[in-house]
Amino acid sequence: MSLRSRLSISLAAGALLAAAAAVPAVANDDWDGARGDWGHHQQENPRLYKGVVTASTLNLRSAPNRGSQIIRTAHKGEIVSIFCKTPGQTINGNPLWYLLTDGTWAWGAARYIDNIGAAPRWC
């Protein structure tokens, strides 16, 4: 593994740990069975922002680049909770990536997520 790859993984892991420490744990009663996710009450958390997926299928990754591991996928129209934004690999002219908090911590290319409300803060 190259030094650049190890550095990217270390930076992503550090960002995930810092973000996880900053967001309170989701209680079991936050499970929304109708939607099949944990996001039901997260709109009440002022630390989170919202977005909607615009790609038919969006791979969410372990780091803000297309070469990192796919954690899960999101689908067009899905509402996602955004913790923060950071620069990463440029995707179709957009260098920003969002750290999403929907049950798992994963990075999504901002090119394919439209903000709902205010733009997310920087990580």
The pLDDT tens digits for 83-116 are: 999 999 999 999 999 999 988 899 999 999 999 9
pLDDT higher than 90, residue 10: no
Global pTM exceeds 0.85: no
CA angle 123, 41, 100 (to 5 degrees): 30
Q: Where are the domains of the chain?
A: 3-116
Task: Calculate ∠ Cα 7-123-51, nearest 5°.
Answer: 120
Q: How far, in Å, CA of 85 to CA of 110, rounded?
A: 8
Q: What angle do CA 25, 109, 52 make, to 5 degrees?
A: 65
> What's the pLDDT tens digit per position in 23-47?
433 333 343 444 444 444 444 567 8
The pLDDT value recorded for residue 37 is 47
The per-residue b/e assignment along 57-81, b for 16 or more CB within 10 angstroms, e otherwise, is ebbbbbbbbeebeebeebeeebbbb
Residues 55-66 pLDDT 10s = 999 999 999 999
Which residue has better confidence, 89 or 9?
Answer: 89
Q: How many angstroms separate the CA atoms of 74 and 63, rounded?
A: 16
Q: Would you tell me which CATH number, out of the four given (2.30.30.30, 2.30.30.40, 2.60.120.10, 3.40.50.10470), belongs to the domain 3-116? A: 2.30.30.40
pLDDT recorded at residue 44: 56
Of 115 and 16, which is predicted with more confidence?
115
pLDDT of residue 33: 42
In angstroms, the CA 42 to CA 53 distance is 17
Residues 2 and 15: their CA atoms lie apart, in Å, by: 20
Please state the rounded mean pLDDT for residues 59-84.
Answer: 97
Write out the two tokens for 110.
Answer: 């901002």
